[in-house]
Structure 1
Amino acid sequence: MPSPRIALATSAELPDLDGDSRLLLPSLERAGIASTCLVWDDPAARWEEMDMVLVRSTWDYWNGAGRRDAFVAWAERVGAKVPFWNAPEVIRWNTEKSYLRDLEARGAPVVPTLWLGPEERAANVLARGLDEGWSEVVIKPAVSAGSEGALRIDLTRDRAGAEAHAEALAPRGVVMVQPFLRSIAQEGELSIIFFEGEAIHAVRKVPRSGDYRSQPEFGSVVGRAEVTDEARRVAESVLTIAESSFLYARVDLVRGLDGALRLIELEVTEPCLYLGWEEGAADRLAAAIARRLRG
């Protein structure tokens, strides 16, 4: 019997995957799974010949008008023919950060957020932020990644600049306004990685001095972290509320203004899974993929 074939979906900028995702390749081989990398928007890619599609380094779908819609359409088109993880309906939900609004409405402890839609004025939304006591905020688009388009700004000192930035982002879609969390500078962001609902490992990303962005490309310090009972409880509650059978998930937590752990992102589209930070993590993901292929 031939080995099952899995396509690892990536982008034209990373045709051979990002470095962390490449760690999965030998684990798949040891699990008896043949893998190939295909660029998600390559019209010549033959997805229908695969036994599964795994979304990995598709880190360009937010970059340009209509790209997110095209990405979601691709996922739904391919997912109608081939087993696809995470599922296309998850991709549609998770690629626009209004999913946080959905989770909060269902009881998840989300970082407080104000939402600027097409029917609202930036000045009014920012005024509500001041009413909440947020002197310093982060303004960012709801379709983005890696802090693209984000601005940290003091409303009490430069309200006009904040309004201008929010209004400049508005043509791209919904805009988010969140309080700047000073705790990020001290303890950073905790990312807990789950495979099939089980917490596998965690990393902590602490921004470099003077910055607030926790992504490694901005010079943050990344280190392995223990999953405390508090963090596990919060992260598992988020997954329970999400009510979906994720193959993989990354729950990103920060310490809120009230001192409690809060969800800043639930990454279930194409997150970095920090496989290199936990011995055996790639093998465990390959084993989970093998179970899905058998099922």
Structure 2
Amino acid sequence: MGAARVAVVTSATGLDEDTDLPLLLEALRSAGLSAEPAAWDTDPRRGWAGYDLAVIRSTWDYVGRIDEFLAWADAAARVTRLWNPAPLVRWNSDKGYLLDLAGRGVPVVPTRCIVPGDTYVEEDFEGTHGVVVKPSVSAGARDTARYEPGRGADAERHARMLLGQGRTALVQPYLPLVEEGERALVFFAGTFSHAIRKQALLTEPGEMDNDRAAHPGAALHMPTEAELRTARAALAAVPAPGEPLFARVDLVLDGSREPVLMELELIEPNLFLGLDPRGPERLALAVAAAAREA
């Protein structure tokens, strides 16, 4: 029996910019797998059925083509084993999942979802320390900005722009302790691998900068027990059987210095494999186990 064939699913942007990609490919091949990168949209006739496993990694152009991407995920899942699974990808593609997780008892940054046609009031855009406005389908803080107290009219204007484009707007309180760094905890098949801390992204109030660096100052971080507990609670509340093959749990400290969930990344997160020497091997072993099951 030959080596299991694994497609590491990427995009044109990912092929150029994904620093995790070569590390993962090398680790997969060292684990005895036949692994190759495959852009999800390069050739619609690509034979995804020829792979034992397709692992979504750096499909970073999906946000502007969400319907096309979700249709691809469904189609690929019909002919090969897709990780993370297509229903989980669909659920995680809209940040409204934060409300689902909050409803399941996970400590989450308070989130107000405003869909086109909703009514809202001025007070929705005010907070003690200001607010953050973002689209519900986004990556890398695209079309996202924070607004200081007293700038609610600017925040509302931002939300109206998103709503006018047929998008859902999320409004969240700005948590000042984010300036001590966002935490990102990485899990493979439900097991904690490593964590990083990075500098805050929204440093300039009122500025929507889509060219900002996505992970400024990323460095290894030793998570606290409270951070691990919150991350595991988020993963346990995911509405899907089994464990995601990979997950990145992004946390920030609230006013009581307790960790709360900012985002749960299950589609194409940067996993910072280059910052932990054993990170690529851990992910490769999880992929190999999934390939054996396939």
TM-score by length of 1: 0.90
> In percent, how many aligned pairs have the same letter?
37
Inter-partner Cα distance in structure 2 for 1:246 and 1:2:
26
Structure 1 residues 177-210: Cα deviation after superposition (integer angstroms, max 9, x where no partner): 011111111x211100001111111000113794
**Pairing 1:113–2:111 present:** yes
1:221 alignment counterpart: 217
2:61 alignment counterpart: 60
Q: 1:219 to 1:195 in 2, by over 3 A?
A: closer
**Pairing 1:140–2:138 present:** no
State the 1:216 CA deviation.
Answer: 8.0
Decide which of 195, 198, 218 is 2:191's aligned counterpart.
Answer: 198
State the 1:32 CA deviation.
Answer: 0.9
Report if aligned partners of 2:125, 2:152 keep a CA contact under 8 Å in 1. Answer: no
Q: 1:208 to 1:112 in 2, by over 3 A?
A: closer
The 5-angstrom pairing of residues 56-95 of structure 1 reads: 56-63=57-64, 67-95=65-93
Inter-partner Cα distance in structure 1 for 2:8 and 2:177:
36
Structure 1 residues 27-70: Cα deviation after superposition (integer angstroms, max 9, x where no partner): 1111111111111122242211111100011001112xxx1111
Q: Could you tell me which amino acid in structure 2 is paired with residue 39 of structure 1?
A: A
Inter-partner Cα distance in structure 1 for 2:72 and 2:111:
30
1:275 alignment counterpart: 273
State the 1:275 CA deviation.
Answer: 0.7
State the 1:228 CA deviation.
Answer: 1.4
Inter-partner Cα distance in structure 1 for 2:272 and 2:78:
29
Q: Could you tell me which amino acid in structure 2 is paired with residue 142 of structure 1?
A: S
Structure 1 residues 240-294: Cα deviation after superposition (integer angstroms, max 9, x where no partner): 1115320111111101134321000000111111111111111111111111111
**Pairing 1:252–2:245 present:** no
Q: Could you tell me which amino acid in structure 2 is paired with residue 9 of structure 1?
A: V
Q: Could you tell me which amino acid in structure 1 is paired with residue 55 of structure 2?
A: L
Question: Structure 1: which 5+ residue stretches go unaligned?
Answer: none
Paired positions, count: 285
Report if aligned partners of 1:208, 1:221 keep a CA contact under 8 Å in 2. Answer: no
Report if aligned partners of 1:48, 1:82 keep a CA contact under 8 Å in 2. Answer: yes
Question: Structure 2: which 5+ residue stretches go unaligned?
Answer: none
1:239 alignment counterpart: 235
2:292 alignment counterpart: 294
Report if aligned partners of 1:216, 1:222 keep a CA contact under 8 Å in 2. Answer: no
Report if aligned partners of 2:146, 2:202 keep a CA contact under 8 Å in 1. Answer: no
Q: Could you tell me which amino acid in structure 2 is paired with residue 205 of structure 1?
A: K
